[in-house]
Chain A
Amino acid sequence: MIFVTVGTQLAFDRMVLTVDQWAQQQGRGDVVAQIGFEAKRPSHIQWVEHMSPQECERHVSECELLVAHAGTGSIFSAMQHRKPIIIMPRRASLGEHRNEHQLATAKHFAAKAHVIVAWDEQELVDYLSHPEKVKVGTDFTPYAEPSLTQAIRAFIDGGV
């Protein structure tokens, strides 16, 4: 099963409909998408507007490939379940978010954890058609960098 998620709130039609069109052309009947509120309806793939965190986790744990917006929640979830993930950044210039932070998030995760980024619809289709190119993100510890947790710990312990 391929699981597509737009994250918690906003629709991301450009990504969902690209997957929908690809799935239709390929005759894939095993694609499930969480599409957000006020989203355009896919014609081929199964979809829901919203999922609870547990439902979302369950779909991530059961999928063979995750396609997600470049949100940290989706990326961490894929890494924790050791699932291959394609991320597609939302673009504020296309009205998909309030600012362009997902472009930077995508760049960061691509560089630091080798997460695969589809920068546009064509790249997304290419990766969907060649899933062997999509690898699981690099080894992933469940905790933050020790320098960060130690700094917070020292602050907590330091006060009266």
Chain B
Amino acid sequence: MTPQPTNSNTRPKTLMLVASGGGHWVELIRLRPAFEGHRQVYVTTTTGYESDVEGHAYHVVPDANRWNKLRLMWLVVRLLFLLLRVRPDVIVSTGAAPGYLAMRMGKWFGARAVWVDSIANVEELSLSGQMAGKCADLWLTQWEHLTTPQGPHCQGAVL
């Protein structure tokens, strides 16, 4: 008889899954087979997608960018609160700015981070995607021609 693998690495982990509303969200939920068996906490920028992820936690954060400082600060506060409460092992984001910030701040608490740059970014990585390269442990583009030896890498697309 083959002994059962005693690999503690496959214990269920807590995942924080972050995507802004619109295309980013659709791309994130298309990745769901990667999340099965783990505790999934979804974070987005609008209400209305709850039914896509029934049975999982769902949080809304402000949609901010670096041009709106006040909203950005509010976003940082909300993310900090969520990160402290959820304590994710892994953060996965398909963009945009809130996902990048969640990853960057999540690193302070020891989370590992996956960035999947949106399939919409065909000619160059998004700005968030470029910045994500500095803090993502797995840094992916969906376009082979945007890969470089130093990353991002390409493992396929959401379509």
Residues of A at the B interface (CB closer than 8 Å) are 7-8, 52-54, 71-74, 76-77, 99-102, 104-105, 107-109, 112-113, 142-153, 155-160
Contact = CB atoms under 8 A, between A and B. Distances in A.
B42 interface: no
B123 interface: yes
Interface in B8-33: 8-10, 13, 15, 21-27, 30-33
Contacts of B22: 7-8, 71-73
Interface stretch (B74-82, B97-105, B114-122): B114-122
The 3 A-B pairs with the shortest beta carbon distances in the complex, nearest first, are A104-B122, A72-B23, A148-B156
Interface residues of B, number: 45
B14 to A, nearest CB: 10
A147 B153 CA distance: 13
Contacts of B124: 99
Does more than half of chain B's interface fall in helix, strand or loop, or is it mixed? loop
Interface of B: 8-10, 13, 15, 21-27, 30-35, 38, 46-49, 89-90, 92, 112, 114, 116, 118-124, 137-138, 140, 142, 155-159
B152 to A, nearest CB: 12
Given A53-B21, A145-B156, A101 B33 contact: no
26 contacts: A53-B48, A54-B48, A71-B22, A71-B120, A74-B23, A76-B30, A99-B123, A101-B121, A101-B123, A102-B120, A105-B120, A108-B119, A108-B122, A113-B159, A143-B32, A144-B157, A147-B155, A148-B34, A148-B156, A148-B158, A150-B34, A150-B155, A151-B138, A159-B13, A159-B112, A160-B9
